[in-house]
């Protein structure tokens, strides 16, 4: 096995398991450090265990998948679950009622409501995050039931009571706390809330006194959308005329606009200009760089292999590359995927290598290259023509009849002046295939009048223009060898000669131009019974 993709997933799972375990241990340690009561710690542990056990049942009922995002959601929700348990248990120990549940419910529903927005996002983003949101929502929902029903019952069952401060601390612990340095530390810890309250009070007074200035400062920090103003306003009214004579002048655009945009744009300008539209945080996948090579029609497998071997020789010079995997799919298409060593995955080397691969691709030439990966804009020097973004797919069982109706649809589409070009192919592609071939457009009416069918016509032409025609086989010492013949005229005569040199078909000689037209067009494909019609609207 040269490459095992599960190794990266195992590492990520190990990190999540470690973070989850450390989260639980740290939370429980702080609970024990603050309360110093084993029964209280037992209450938190049992409540958390029951909460997760019930949550797992709901995971199964809702069909949630346990993947990296789901496990991360469990880790994040643990502290929120423990918070609900602590708030409810502390209130119940103090007042022996459940009035705090409304506050816990409001705070929890706020968090759950914020996560519900994920289910209304675009499908590409939602599919990555919906399991994460569902896990957190289920954990919080179960924690409400645990806080309302289980925690008060468990408190009564284990006999947990709120004791006085002196009774909570044992003799040995009391003697330890009476040491001089600990007493000083306790005094300092007690003064910290006082100092914070004084600072908070002073800050509120300043903000209230200068509230107008504070509001203006916040508005300028957020920014005004002046950088989105158009360069020119259409129209002939007074507003458009005034706008074009002030903001639309070259002086404002070159000298004033750069300064005004920075001063008034604030953080909004940086967000709009620096953040790619429609982007969001991506999956924490392994860093992989991809390079795809494409050759034009008529290329051979040896040519593609030679081109890819040159790129492989170049990549072999870098020790930072863990391995690269090459796939030569056919004579026209090949791909290379590059994996990096662990210490260089998140360094600047992948970006440097991407730039170097682009430079090497331009140097090699001979074909088109697409280099992408690293969550940024890719490179492509593909010069193929766009085939159109609109398509119609037709289904059927009789290929000849289906292609006939595809031709009819093409003629009907071309009758609209808003449609520039129509292409018929066996499969939809965003790019035009540069493969063209000659085809016979038979004049069926004239052929019926002359008593010549298509088989007779092709049989008359094939000996003159045929190549690699199998006529039999011969037995040799090495086995059976096929006998193939190629016409000499096929090398000497061109398409014009094919149409206008007479050939014997049936009872008399005919010119091919009398019975059919020879035209060159895009190839329709490999005979699939789902022709796709692509068309480009006129600009």
Q: Where are the domains of the chain?
A: 6-168, 216-274, 288-380, 390-537
Segment 212-233 shows an average pLDDT of 90
316-332 mean pLDDT: 91
pLDDT at res. 167: 46
Provide mean pLDDT across the span 22-41: 87
Question: Which DSSP state fits 292?
Answer: E
CA distance 186 to 510: 114
The pLDDT-based confidence of 175 (bands split at 50, 70, 90) is low
Angle at alpha carbon of residue 381, lines to 320 and 424, rounded to 5°: 130
Q: How many CB atoms lie within 10 A of CB 195?
A: 10
In the three-class reduction of DSSP (H, G, I as helix; E, B as strand; rest coil), residue 164 is classed as coil
Same fold, 6-168 and 288-380: no
CB atoms within 10 A of CB 81: 26
Query: What's the predicted TM-score (pTM) here?
Result: 0.52
In this prediction, residue 190 has a pLDDT band, given cuts at 50, 70 and 90, of confident
Q: Is the pLDDT of residue 189 over 70?
A: yes
Q: Pick the residue with more confidence: 504 or 305?
A: 305
**pLDDT > 60? residue 254:** yes
Cα separations (Å) of 29 from 23, 41, 454?
10, 9, 89
Q: pLDDT for 334-362, tens place per residue?
A: 999 999 988 888 888 999 999 999 999 98
* Highest mean pLDDT: which range of 66-70, 81-85, 177-181: 81-85
Residue 110 has pLDDT above 60, yes or no: yes
Average pLDDT over every residue of 55-75: 90
Burial tier of 317 (Cβ tally within 10 Å: 0-12, 13-18, 19+): exposed
Longest Cα pair distance anywhere in the chain, in angstroms?
A: 126
Mean predicted confidence (pLDDT) in 301-309: 92
Q: Provide the pLDDT for residue 168.
A: 45
Confidence check: pLDDT of 331 > 50: yes
Q: Which of 169, 73, 168 is nearest to 112 (CA)?
A: 73
Which residue would you say has higher pLDDT here, 114 or 274?
Answer: 114
Alpha carbon 207 to its chain's center: 44
3-state secondary structure of 419: strand
Mean pLDDT, residues 433-449 taken together: 77
Q: DSSP characters for 115-133?
A: HHGGGGS-HHHHHHHHHHH
At how many degrees (to 10) do helices 301-315 and 349-364 cross?
A: 140
Question: What is the Cα–Cα distance from 301 to 299, expressed in whole angstroms?
Answer: 7
Asked whether the predicted pLDDT for residue 15 surpasses 50, the reply is yes
pLDDT at 437: 74
Closest CA to 291 of 311, 272, 273: 311
Q: Higher-confidence residue: 178 or 324?
A: 324
pLDDT for 527 equals 43
**Fold adopted by 288-380:** Alpha-Beta Plaits (3.30.70)
* pLDDT surpasses 70 at 249: yes
**Are the C-beta atoms of 487 and 465 separated by less than 8 Å?**
yes
Write out the two tokens for 170. 């044992």
pLDDT score recorded for residue 523: 61
- Averaged pLDDT of the chain: 83
pLDDT at 526: 44
What's the pLDDT band for 431 if we cut at 50, 70, 90?
Answer: low
- Measured CA to CA, the distance from residue 332 to residue 292 in angstroms comes to 11
Task: Give the number of C-alpha atoms closer than 13 A to the C-alpha of residue 455, restricted to the C-beta side.
Answer: 0
Q: What is the pLDDT of residues 416-429, one digit of tens each?
A: 888 877 877 776 66
Residue 538's pLDDT is what?
A: 52
pLDDT for position 428: 67
Dist CA 350 CA 346 (whole Å): 8
Q: How far is CA 283 from CA 69, 70, 129, 349, in A?
A: 9, 13, 10, 20
Tell me which fold the domain 390-537 belongs to: 3.30.2090
86/237: higher pLDDT = 86
Q: How confident is the model at residue 52 (pLDDT cuts 50, 70, 90)?
A: very high
CB atoms within 10 A of CB 422: 21
State the angle between helix axes of 38-61 and 6-35 in degrees (0 to 180), rounded to the nearest 10. Answer: 150
Q: Which CATH number fits domain 6-168: 1.20.1640.10, 3.50.50.60, 3.30.420.40, 3.30.9.10?
A: 1.20.1640.10
DSSP letter, residue 431: B
Q: Is the pLDDT of residue 43 over 70?
A: yes
pLDDT at 179: 60
Q: If you average pLDDT over residues 164-168, what whole number do you get?
A: 49
**Rounded Cα gap, residues 3 and 325, in angstroms:** 9
How far is Cα 264 from Cα 223, in angstroms, rounded to an integer?
Answer: 6
What mean pLDDT comes out for the span 244-251? 87
Would the pLDDT of 3 be above 60?
Answer: yes
Tokens of 161: 């009571």
Residue 170 has pLDDT above 70, yes or no: no
């Amino acid at each position: 096995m040269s490459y095992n993709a599960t190794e990266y997933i195992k590492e990520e799972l190990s990190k999540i398991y470690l973070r989850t375990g450390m989260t639980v241990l740290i939370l429980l340690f702080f609970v024990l450090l603050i309360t110093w009561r084993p029964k209280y710690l037992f209450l938190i542990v049992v409540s958390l265990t029951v909460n997760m056990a019930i949550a797992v049942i709901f995971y199964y009922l809702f069909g949630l998948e346990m993947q990296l995002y789901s496990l991360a959601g469990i880790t994040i929700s643990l502290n929120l679950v423990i918070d609900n348990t602590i708030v409810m248990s502390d209130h119940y120990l103090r007042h022996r009622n459940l009035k705090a549940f409304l506050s816990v419910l409001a705070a929890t529903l706020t968090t759950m409501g914020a996560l519900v927005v994920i289910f209304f996002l675009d499908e590409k983003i939602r599919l990555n995050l919906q399991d994460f949101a569902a896990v957190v929502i289920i954990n919080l929902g179960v924690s409400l039931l645990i806080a309302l029903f289980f925690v008060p019952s468990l408190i009564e069952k284990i006999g947990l009571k709120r004791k006085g401060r002196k009774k909570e601390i044992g003799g040995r612990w009391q003697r330890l706390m009476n040491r001089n340095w600990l007493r000083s530390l306790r005094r300092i810890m007690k003064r910290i809330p006082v100092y914070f309250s004084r600072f908070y009070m002073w800050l509120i007074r300043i903000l209230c006194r200068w509230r107008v200035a504070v509001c203006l400062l916040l508005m300028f920090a957020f920014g005004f959308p002046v950088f989105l103003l158009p360069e020119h306003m259409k129209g002939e009214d007074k507003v458009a005329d005034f706008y074009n004579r002030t903001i639309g002048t070259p002086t404002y655009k070159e000298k004033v606009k750069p300064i005004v945009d920075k001063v008034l744009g604030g953080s909004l300008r940086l967000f709009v200009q620096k953040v790619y539209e429609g982007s969001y945080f991506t999956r924490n996948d392994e860093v992989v760089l991809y390079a795809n090579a494409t050759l034009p029609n008529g290329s051979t497998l040896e040519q593609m292999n030679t081109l890819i071997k040159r790129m492989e020789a170049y990549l072999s010079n870098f020790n930072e590359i863990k391995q690269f995997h090459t796939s030569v799919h056919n004579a026209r298409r090949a791909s290379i995927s590059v994996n990096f060593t662990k210490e260089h995955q998140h360094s600047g080397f992948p970006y440097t290598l991407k730039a170097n691969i682009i430079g090497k691709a331009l140097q090699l030439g001979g074909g088109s290259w697409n280099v992408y990966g690293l969550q940024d804009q890719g490179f492509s020097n593909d010069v193929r023509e766009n085939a159109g973004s609109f398509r119609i797919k037709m289904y059927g069982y009789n290929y000849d009849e289906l292609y006939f109706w595809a031709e009819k649809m093409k003629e009907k589409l071309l009758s609209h002046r808003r449609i520039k070009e129509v292409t018929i192919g066996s499969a939809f592609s965003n790019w035009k295939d540069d493969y063209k071939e000659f085809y016979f457009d038979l004049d069926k009416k004239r052929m019926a009048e002359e008593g010549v069918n298509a088989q007779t016509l092709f049989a008359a032409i094939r000996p003159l223009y045929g190549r690699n025609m199998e006529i039999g086989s011969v037995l040799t010492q090495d086995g059976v060898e096929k006998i193939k013949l190629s016409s000499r005229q096929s090398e000497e005569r061109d398409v014009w000669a094919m149409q206008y040199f007479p050939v014997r078909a049936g009872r008399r000689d005919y010119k091919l131009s009398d019975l059919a037209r020879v035209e060159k067009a895009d190839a329709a494909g490999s005979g699939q019974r789902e022709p796709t019609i692509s068309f480009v609207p006129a600009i």
